[in-house]
Amino acid sequence: MKAIYKSDSLNLSLYKLPTSIIFNDDKIKTKLVEELADNDFEVINNTVLKLNISVREYLKVYDFNMSYVPYFKLENYMSKKISFLDYETLIYIKLIGFLSHKENIFIFDDILSFLSDERKERILKYINENNIMYVNITSDIEETLFSQYLIVLGEKGVLIEGEVKKVLMEEKLLKKLGFNLPFVLDLSLQLKAYEVIDQEYYDLDKLVNDLWN
Amino acid sequence: MELEGKVIAIIGDNLNSSFNLKKEVYILDNIKKHTDKNKILEALKMVNLSEDYLLKKSNDLSNGEYSKLCLAKDLINKEKVIYLDYFDKGLCYKEREYFKKLIKKLSRNYGLTFIVKTNDFSFCINLVDEYHILKNLKVVKIITRENIYKEKVYKYYNKHQLIDFVLKSREKNHLMDDYFETSDILKAIYRELR
């Protein structure tokens, strides 16, 4: 079988648009991550090292711009030892360190779901403001809405791919393949089928407002 | 406190951010040393893993594979209380739904107790029987699934779109009952707007 990461769709998307990859087979996802790591892509996973250095020293290694400390709300952590931090904070700081090298293309290996909502929003805001290219391999369908391109991976490789909203509209196919849809889209498509509303939604507040007004 | 045959989520004490880092390095060896091969194969089958996994090295396991092997090991060893520590991470939607059904079946039919720790409420909803709130490692409050909305259990987890939708609809005086499934919400919306 051809290396998954060398398939045309993955080559295109890795260099052009922030991309999400969802999967219905753990083995194929593991294979893809291994291939990417073996071919020098910057893969960020959820393993962390409990080092006996301060957060400040850790981030210095990554040439982190210290003016971003307030942006990431790290003031209370800078002098703390890495080894004393809780797991979620370790993941958060690991991500911040890696993302300091904005010119790289980052592969997130199912890591964003470990963060609190607040920290995830902050990381994504930083990524968008700095036009950082990434591929988010995720088991959380809601995360696909953060990116612009979506690749659906199955046992035999790439199943469907394209702009996020276009792929997610392949509702029947995705459900047949064992995927769920983002909640707001799923609910609005079913309401549309019952002629309660006349369009699909991706934004929860907008759906609530339009539905009940 | 009666725990047998229940699925319990532990929350509070900043627990959801204290994932157990220490992966058991020899988990595969610990499974393989069991003398009853049929038991091993049965457990692996239950957690959707093939016999090939016995040939792998522990370091090569993904999060999802490692979590499944931990569960298999506990089943082989006939543990009565099984800890699911961020078990849902690394599992695709299809597998998460499969394991929710399996966990429910094992707790109801075989009296196993599961202790769940995660930041994702979608894994707990429709699975967990009780939410135990911890403070200084002591259980200070127990919330049953019927009181999820009343006691605002969801505030201990990352945002959950379904719950968020219900809460925002309530601000507009709609969907005042407690909902946990999209299908029930659909019926309620249809009833209200008819």
8 Å CB contact of A46 and B89: yes
Q: Are B152 and B117 in contact (CB under 8 A)?
A: no
**pLDDT grade, residue B3 (50/70/90)?**
confident
Please compute, for residue B15, the number of CA atoms within 13 A of its CA located in the half-sphere on the CB side.
24
Distance CA B70, CA B27 (A): 7
pLDDT of residue A49: 79
Residue B56 pLDDT > 90: no
* Res. B48 pLDDT band, cuts 50 70 90: confident
Cβ-contact A74, A89 below 8 angstroms: no
More confident residue, A179 or A42: A179
pLDDT given for residue B33 in this prediction: 74
Any CB–CB contact under 8 A between B165 and chain A? Answer: yes
Question: Higher pLDDT residue, A15 or A122?
Answer: A122
pLDDT in tens, B63-122: 788 888 889 989 988 999 998 988 888 888 988 999 999 999 999 999 999 999 888 999
In the numeric block, which tokens belong to residue B21? 């880092």
Average pLDDT of chain A, as a whole number: 90
Residues of B in contact with A88 (CB under 8 A): 16-17, 19, 119
Q: Say how many CB pairs under 8 Å bridge A and B.
A: 101
Interface test with B, best of A38, A139, A155 (most B CBs within 10 A): A139
What percent of chain B lies above the pLDDT cut of 70? Answer: 90
Residues with Cβ within 8 Å of A135's Cβ and at least 6 positions away in sequence, in order, are: A13, A14, A18, A19, A20, A21, A105, A106, A107, A108
Alpha-carbon distance of A158 to A11, in angstroms, equals: 12
Reading the block at residue B23, the tokens are 């992966």
Least confident of A159-168, B51-60, B65-74: B51-60
Residues near A195 by beta carbon (within 8 Å), at least 6 away in sequence: none
- B132 pLDDT above the threshold of 50: yes
| pLDDT beyond 50 at B21 | no
Position with higher pLDDT, B58 vs A207: A207
**Domains of chain B with CATH codes:** 7-140 (3.40.50.300)
| Residues of chain B above pLDDT 90, percent | 49
A186/B172 Cβ within 8 A: no
User: Which pLDDT band, with edges at 50, 70 and 90, does A141 fall under?
Assistant: very high
Domains and their CATH numbers in chain A: 4-169 (3.40.50.300), 182-213 (no CATH)
- Residue A46, pLDDT > 90, answer no
Q: Percentage of chain A with pLDDT > 90?
A: 68
Is B17 in contact with A87 (Cβ distance < 8 A)? yes
Q: Check B172 against A212: CB less than 8 A apart.
A: yes
Please tell me the distance in Å from B124's CA to the nearest CA on chain A: 15
Q: B82 to chain A, minimum CA–CA distance in Å? A: 21
Q: Kindly report, residue by residue over A9-38, the tens digit of the pLDDT.
A: 666 556 678 999 999 988 888 888 888 888
**What pLDDT sits at residue B22?**
46
How far is B50 from chain A, CA to nearest CA, in Å? 11
B86: contact with A, CB 8 A cutoff: yes
Nearest CA of chain B to the CA of A108: how many Å?
A: 12
How many CA atoms lie less than 13 Å away from B61 in the CB half-sphere? 23
Using a CB-CB distance cutoff of 8 angstroms, which residues of chain A are in contact with residue B94? 24, 178-179
* Most B CBs within 10 Å, among A24, A33, A208, to test the B interface: A208
- Show the beta-strand stretches assigned E in chain A: 19-23, 42-44, 105-109, 133-137, 149-154, 157-163
Residue B59 touches chain A, beta carbons under 8 Å: no
